[in-house]
Chains A and B, each alone.
Chain A
Amino acid sequence: MPIIEVDHVTKVFPARRGARDIRGRGGLADWIRGRKTETFEALKDISLSVERGESLGIIGRNGSGKSTLLSLIAGVTLPTRGTVTVRGRVASLLELGAGFHPILTGRENVYLNAGLLGMRRAQVDEVFDRIVAFSGIAEFIDQPVETYSSGMYVRIGFAVAAHVNPDVFLVDEVLSVGDEEFQRKCRARISALREEGKTIVFVSHDLGIVNTLCDRVVLLDKGRMVLRESARKTISFYLRQVGRERGVHTFAAGPLEAILCEGRISLFHNQEELTAPDGFAMFVQSLGRLHASTEADWVLTRRDPDGCTAEGRMMRLPLKYFWDLQLTPDRLTWHIAVECERETPMNSLDVRLTLTTAFTRWMLGDLSGVFPEIRPSDTLWNMLVWPSDTPLDDTRAAILPEEENEAVPRLIFRTTPLRPHFNLYWVNSDYAAYCRILFIHTRFPDKDAGLPPGRHELLRVEIEPAAGRDLLWRRLSPDRTISAGKVSACFERGWLKLAYDGREITALIHVFSSMLVQHLWNDSHTLHWGEVQNDGRCLRVSGESRRFPFFQHWEAEAREDGIFLRIWLEAVEALDAQEYQASVVLLPEYRAWRSDYEEGVFPPFDAKADKWRHLNKIYLPGKRLSALSSTLPSVTLEVTNDAMQFRMTPINTRRQENARVLQALCSSESGVFHFDRGRHLIFEGMIRIAPPGS
């Protein structure tokens, strides 16, 4: 038997007696004359049933009758026609702390509120400690609640409602209150209740949580039931259906389609939704409260088939958003500006791009990784990338689905901050929201200052689907890649990644250099590298050692037959070094090597080797060292400066590193190299790359 049965219910709200209606009628004179005032039909012939353990979402625009339906189920009012039957105890979270009396203490109010929700005193005694623990305000529990902050009010209210252990939970927009951490706690608690098999009826504007928590979703429009389907279908329909209304616009170009709905953007590619139901939205943390762009009052000032401009005025903040959205067949451009009418204290201003979990891999700048699984125990966001605290400028990020997933494209995000202090993170959401988030975060250095009055251009976000992996890579970091013919190299954090004909041939730490100073190896990727200057063929970059007083300057030039590399040491003070080297770390597919004096094969990796193993027998200075493979292009490390003395050494790494290395090592034999203050060329050579078989 269904636990909730709503049978042909119509609800007509009577006109309020003594109150004048829109036409000014309803005064005493009209009442004596028996003239009827206007009534309001909030629900029209609604029928639905909810099974035990099911969770039902109710969505719809303001005034569509959602809350009325909920209060009918709660038994707060009666239907005008039809019947409502609920087989079980109901706890409504319609308004948290509604029944609280300000003068009573938290403890007394807990008992009173639980009593209203139908609990016996003895039952409350049992769960009282848990209620207090959940609310997290144990030390204030014997204070009158009028001394509580509104946040504490809500906490204790939710804690009571969440522990009365009813059969049916009615939840109405309660999750939009409280701070973020508490909201997460609430969501987690609701998820838990759902897993305990409680029936939940849920009204929310937060489509994300409706999507994750509800098995079925009912869409109401002007009191009628429009759709009753799976969560995803209904939400998607809702977004489209309300598209004709104010503040909502659907636009498309090529395979891309976007919907702007009251401060939230959803993005589709070939009808496939790429965004999570929360879409792309903005949040402002001001005076301890989180304000979402979806709470703003939105007006569209431009509607084109492929773009729109919208203005959203925040209700509770003197703040107005200006969003400009433009679609071309290959990208969505989102330009964000805000206008502060007055001095507005802000702690942070975030842009959240939520994406479905079909995406599994992320890239951010030159970092990349895999999103871990989101498990039910995840009640907090899981930050995956925490980039440097230096403000970012023009940054690229990408998110990729599983390789086999053909339906979802790879996405590249290019964010151009128009103001400083932006930072980018990749985040896994909590279990309830269940999505991937590219979190563009601004923390204002002066917590209470925020933005001065006036209009501020904040950020431009460009989102483009990328077809191939190489294309993705090139788009992601074009300013660090040099190429000539089939040869290309990309500078990443102290190493050069080599590719031939689009295929990477180096591994692990790629082309790097290292210097032994005071018995410490200083690998190039441990230096702090600055901006890359690049003209597409030749790149220059400088790295600073934070350990010893020196810089390295790299200059790499792409040529048809390889990469020409020069490395300078700039000693800030006089510096003594024992050894230095430049190495090419290659894929394990390379099978053979050849030096000036001898040749050999790279043997299988030695499981017991605990350091890199030299493979040559003759340790004389040489000029040339090659690695050969049957399928990959041959690679030759060649010293081109005749004045330089390097020992050319082929090396096998340890097994777990699984790579072959060509190394040019300059050793002082016994003493040290003494570098005076100034700039010294320490390596000049060519990494020749020739097609396989040549």
Chain B
Amino acid sequence: MNGHIYTSANQREWLRVLPDLVRARELLRDLIWKDLRARYRYAVMGFLWAVLEPLAFTLILAFVFSVLLADKAAFLRPDNGPPFTTMLLSGLIFWQFTATALASATFSLVINQNLVKKVHFARETVPLATVCVPLVNLGVGFLLLLGVHVLLGGRLHPALVWVLPVFGIQFSLTAGLALIFSSAHVHFRDVGNMVNVAILFGFYASPVFYPLERVTQSGVLPAWAVHAYLLNPMAGLLTAYRQILFDGHFPDWTLLLWPAMLAGLVLVGGSWLFRRAAPTFSDYL
């Protein structure tokens, strides 16, 4: 009739992921919308919170590090680098995106089990929608970052457009991990807790509130530890954002090589793994 043919035999085929997602694009949009509406529905200020939250966050940080902990901040800050507040903020908003996205996406299938158990649809949409939700906070946060940057005497370079491809790498990486973690969590409910621990660890193991140079050029750590540290893709990504924003040029491509490779690997592997597991999720929910 309208060409819909369902066969149980080809449900695990990886190549069908992309066409399935294209077909489910409206559903994906609806699911994102659902999450956003659900989050802000009963708040009097509604979507205003999406702006207020990062703004308040920025103000608090600025206050803490420029007044209370000014000396500590001076220690962490490279001598000729950007002001500590913008440095911190640039790391924080991008880190926060990955952290929130992973934490919520891991549980997304279990939370939406009433859908998964009752209706046949492209399962990928559930974790992917969850990954997309913090994009709103990121976008607002990024605008605030630019504002603070200009306020503290920074310049807006045309090189800022390079943020997009770099973020593309980060998004692919996050989406791939979300697919892996969420499907793993369906089978092993310990995964969710592990992810939470890993995110907390990652916060300190990534150059969020300190610049990468503090690790690579401190001379405190042995060489192998520095290499191990650089295996964390967020190290390269967060530093790349800073280089674009503060130095105004395309980031050091060596920083991006490893994260890009890893992101591709994780995205392909994650979607393959997810496809393998997705058709029988409902048996484990």
Contacts and interface: CB of A to CB of B under 8 A. Distances in A.
B8 A75 contact: yes
B188 A87 contact: no
B188 A18 contact: yes
Contacts of A111: 30
Interface residues of B, number: 38
A108 interface: yes
Contacts of A103: 37-38, 41-42
B78 to A, nearest CB: 46
A75 B11 contact: yes
A77 B118 contact: no
B183 to A, nearest CB: 13
Contacts of A83: 7-9
A85 B10 CA distance: 10
Interface stretch (A92-100, A595-603, A649-657): A92-100
B121 interface: yes
Interface range for A: 35 or more
A87 B3 CA distance: 8
Interface in B1-55: 1-2, 4-9, 11-12, 26-27, 30-31, 33-34, 37-38, 41-42
Nearest to A73: B6
A86 B7 CA distance: 6
A148 to B, nearest CB: 15
A74 B119 contact: yes
A432 B181 CA distance: 48
Contacts of A76: 116-120, 282
A77 B26 CA distance: 23
Contacts of B188: 17-18
A46 to B, nearest CB: 13
Residue with the greatest number of chain B CB neighbours at <10 A, chosen from A14, A71, A90, A115:
A115
Contacts of B281: 77
Contacts of A75: 6, 8, 11, 120, 279
B193 interface: no
Interface in A50-100: 71-72, 74-79, 82-90, 92, 94-95, 98-99
A74 B4 contact: no
A117 B119 contact: yes
A14 B283 contact: yes
Contacts of A503: none
Interface in A95-130: 95, 98-99, 101, 103-104, 108, 111-112, 115-118, 120-121
Residue with the greatest number of chain A CB neighbours at <10 A, chosen from B6, B9, B34:
B6
B26 A115 contact: yes
A16 B284 contact: yes
A108 B114 CA distance: 17
Contact of A85 (B1, B6, B119, B187): B6
Given A76-B117, A85-B8, 12 more contacts: A17-B189, A72-B8, A74-B120, A78-B8, A78-B279, A85-B9, A87-B6, A98-B119, A99-B118, A115-B30, A116-B27, A120-B26
Interface of A: 13-14, 16-18, 71-72, 74-79, 82-90, 92, 94-95, 98-99, 101, 103-104, 108, 111-112, 115-118, 120-121, 144, 167
